[in-house]
Amino acid sequence: MAEVLVLVELNPTGEGVRKTTLEALTAARALGEPSAVVVGGPGAAAAAKAQLAEYGAQKVYVAESEEVDQYLVAPKAEVLAQLVTEKSPAAVVIPSSPEGKEIAGRLAIKTGSGFLTDVTDIAPDGTATQVAFAGATIVHSKVTVGTPIYTVRGNSVTPEPAPGAAEEEQVAVALSDAARATRVVDRVVEQKSSRPELTEASIVVSGGRGVASAENFSIIEGLADSLGAAVGASRAAVDSGYYPHTFQVGQTGKTVSPQLYIAVGISGAIQHRAGMQTSKTIVAVNKDPEAPIFELADFGVVGDLNTVVPQATEAINARK
Amino acid sequence: MDIVVLVKQVPDSGSERNLDPADNTVARGSADNVVNEIDEYAIEEALQLKEAHGGEVTLLTVGPDSAADAIRKALSMGADRAVHVVDDAIHGACAPQTSAILAAALQQMSFDIVLCGAESTDGQLSVMPALLAERLGIPQLSGARKLTVEGGVARVERQTDGGYWALEAPLPAIVSTWDTINEPRYPSFKGIMAAKKKPVEKKSLADLGIDPSTVGLATATSQVLDFAGRPPKGAGVKVTDEGDGAAKLVDFLATQKIV
C-alpha cells in the first residue's frame, strides 16, 4: 500500500503530540498508510510514540538532533525533502499552523511539487476540500505536479484511533547551511492559560466591544469556564485593550471553526465573521437587534450581556 | 539601506468576493480592489526603517493592470518608487509560480531587506516569505510583531500563541509582519499628490527572463476543480431577554447536547 508521510506537531509542553497531528494522521489514511515523521530534539519520538501508534502510524521516522529546534522552519522542510526523495511517498500531510504551512511551501519548492493549505478533507483520489473567502466558498482542488503536499486545517477532521505498528526508523539529520539561516534564540511564553487553545477548542466564547472594559471580560471567562471553552476577542475589543491580541478572532487574528461559537457583545462585522463563520453552531448575545451577527446565529438573545451572560453561566453550572 | 516591500492588490473582503466560473481563478476585475490590509503594516515598517537608517523604499507588486491603483495608494504612504510586474501570461499562477516571478524580480533589484505582510486576505496561504526565502537562499523571519535591524542583523519577535519566538539572522533577509507590529500612517494630502509623480517601472515576464509557458493557469502546480457558494445558514431563532433570555439560551445549548 502507498506510504503517506505525516509530519508530527509536538506539544510545546513536551508531552505527546498536538491534536492536529491526530487529525492529520486520520486524514492521511484516505491516501495510504501513514508514516509519522518526528523532527525534533533528542527524545522527541519517545514522547510521541504511544499516541502515534494509537492513531494509525505504521512507521515512525525519527529525525532527532539538537540543531533542529535551533533554526526556524527550514530544518523540518529539509528532513521531509530528504524523506520524499528516499521513500517516494504518495503524499505528505502536515498539520496546518503558521509553521506547518511554511514547511509545506518550502518542501513544495524543494521537491518541485504543488501544495494545498488548510484542507478540511482529503479524498482517496487526492482531491482536497478547502474553504475560501473566509467561508463563503467551498472549493475542491488537486495538486497537478510532483508529490502532493497538504496541510490539514485544525478542527476539521475528527481524529479516529486505528491500530498502528509505529515501527521506528532512524533518520540521520545533517542540516545544510541554508537550513541554519534563521536562529531561534528564545521561545517566550507570555500567556499561560489553562483554557483550551482557540483553534483546537470545541467551544469558543468571544467578547466584543460591548463588553466595555478589560475587567468586565471576567464574565466572558466565567461563561467560557462553565463550558470548558476557549476565550476569544473581537478586534474592537483587542484594540480597546480589553483582551490580549493573542486571543483575537477575525481577519487579522485567528480563524476558528469550533462546534459552538458564542459571540457576546460582538456586532458581527466582516472583519470578525471572517474568523468564525464556519463554526458549526453560532450563538449571539447583543443589545442591538439589528446587529449583523444575528444573521449568522442559530440562536440569538437580544439583551444586556451584563445580565444574560452571568445568568447563563449560573444556569449552566447549576446543571452540572 | 535598500528596502523592498511586497504589496498585493486583493478584492476587498467587505465586498462580495468570487471565483470566476470561466476558469476558477480569483475574480480580480471588480472595482472593489484594495491594498492587502496587512501589507500596510509592512510598508509602515519599511518607512520607519528608512527613517532610522536612511536609504530607499521600493514597492514590488505582481498583478494585473488594475494593481496600479494599489501601488499608487502604497506610494502615497511615503515609499519612493515601485516595480509592477504585469503580464497576461501570469493569470492563474499558483503560489510557487508567483514566488518564482517575485524572486526573479528581486534578483534584478538590490536589497538589504524585503518586507511583506504575513498573510493576504484572498488566498490566505501565508507562505510567500517562506517560498521566497527558499528560492533566494536568504533567511526568513516571518510573523513579526517587532523588528529591529542593527549592524547588518535582523532581530524579530515572531508572534506565537501566547508569546513569541526571538529570531535572529544576518541581512539580506525577508521579514513578514502581522498587524501587531506598528500603526500604519495615513497618507497625507502631500503624500497623495507626490505619489502621482513617483516612478513605477513596469516589467513583463520577458524582462525577468521567465518563459511564459512555465507560469499561469495551464501549468499551475495545483488547480481548483470546482467550487460552490457555501449553503446559507437557515434563519436562526432570536429571542428578546425579558428576564428569561439566559434560561432560553441554556435550553438551546441543551438541545445541542452541550450542557
Give the pLDDT of residue B233: 74
Question: What are the distances in angstroms from CA A151 to CA A23, A24, A128, A295, B42?
Answer: 11, 8, 10, 31, 26
For residue B254, list chain A residues with Cβ-Cβ distance below 8 A: 319
CA distance A260 to A205: 8
CB contact burial A130-141 (16+ within 10 A = b; e otherwise): bbbbbbbbbbbb
Q: Which three cell numbers stand for residue B254?
A: 441543551
Give the pLDDT of residue A70: 97
Q: Which three cell numbers stand for residue B203?
A: 516589467
Give the pLDDT of residue B30: 67
CA distance B61 to B68: 9
Give the pLDDT of residue B211: 97
DSSP E strand stretches across chain A: 3-7, 33-40, 59-64, 91-95, 115-119, 121-122, 128-132, 137-143, 149-152, 167-170, 183-189, 203-207, 230-233, 260-264, 281-286, 299-302
For residue A146, the distance in angstroms to the closest alpha carbon of chain B comes to 8
In the numeric block, the cell 497625507 is attached to B188
- Closest residue of chain B to A193, computed from CA coordinates: B162
Helix/strand/coil percentages in chain B, nearest 5: 30, 30, 40
CB B139 within 8 A of CB B133: yes
CA distance A234 to A269: 10
**A44 backbone φψ class: left, alpha, beta (φ>0; ψ -120 to 50):** alpha
CB A82 within 8 A of CB A57: no
Give the pLDDT of residue A194: 86
Give the pLDDT of residue A135: 79
Does the distance separating the beta carbons of A301 and B233 come in below 8 Å?
A: no
If 0-12 CB within 10 Å is exposed, 13-18 middle and 19+ buried, where does residue B60 land? Answer: buried
Does the distance separating the beta carbons of A138 and B162 come in below 8 Å?
A: no
In the numeric block, the cell 526573479 is attached to B104
Q: What is the pTM of this model?
A: 0.91
Of A65, A117, A125, A66, which Cα lies nearest the Cα of A93?
A117
Give the pLDDT of residue B31: 66
For residue B134, the distance in angstroms to the closest alpha carbon of chain A comes to 6
Q: Which H or E run contains B4? A: strand B2-6
CA distance B35 to A59: 46
CA distance A23 to A95: 8
pLDDT digits (tens, 9 = 90+) for B223-251: 999 999 888 777 799 999 999 999 999 99
Of A73, A63, A62, A59, which Cα lies nearest the Cα of A28?
A59
Q: Which residues of chain A have pLDDT under 70?
A: none
For residue A58, the distance in angstroms to the closest alpha carbon of chain B comes to 29
- Closest residue of chain B to A153, computed from CA coordinates: B125
CB B137 within 8 A of CB B114: no
Calculate the CA B192 to chain-centre distance. Answer: 21
For residue A233, list chain B residues with Cβ-Cβ distance below 8 A: none
Does the distance separating the beta carbons of B121 and A246 come in below 8 Å?
A: no
CB contact burial A100-119 (16+ within 10 A = b; e otherwise): bbbbbbbbbbbbebbbbbbb
pLDDT digits (tens, 9 = 90+) for A108-145: 999 999 999 999 999 999 999 999 887 789 999 999 99
Question: What are the distances in angstroms from CA B101 to CA B2, B35, B43, B67, B87?
Answer: 20, 19, 21, 16, 11
Calculate the CA B212 to chain-centre distance. Answer: 24
Give the pLDDT of residue A249: 96
DSSP three-state, residue A25:
helix
Does the distance separating the beta carbons of B230 and A114 come in below 8 Å?
A: no
CA distance A238 to B73: 27
Q: Which residues of chain B have pLDDT under 70?
A: 30-31
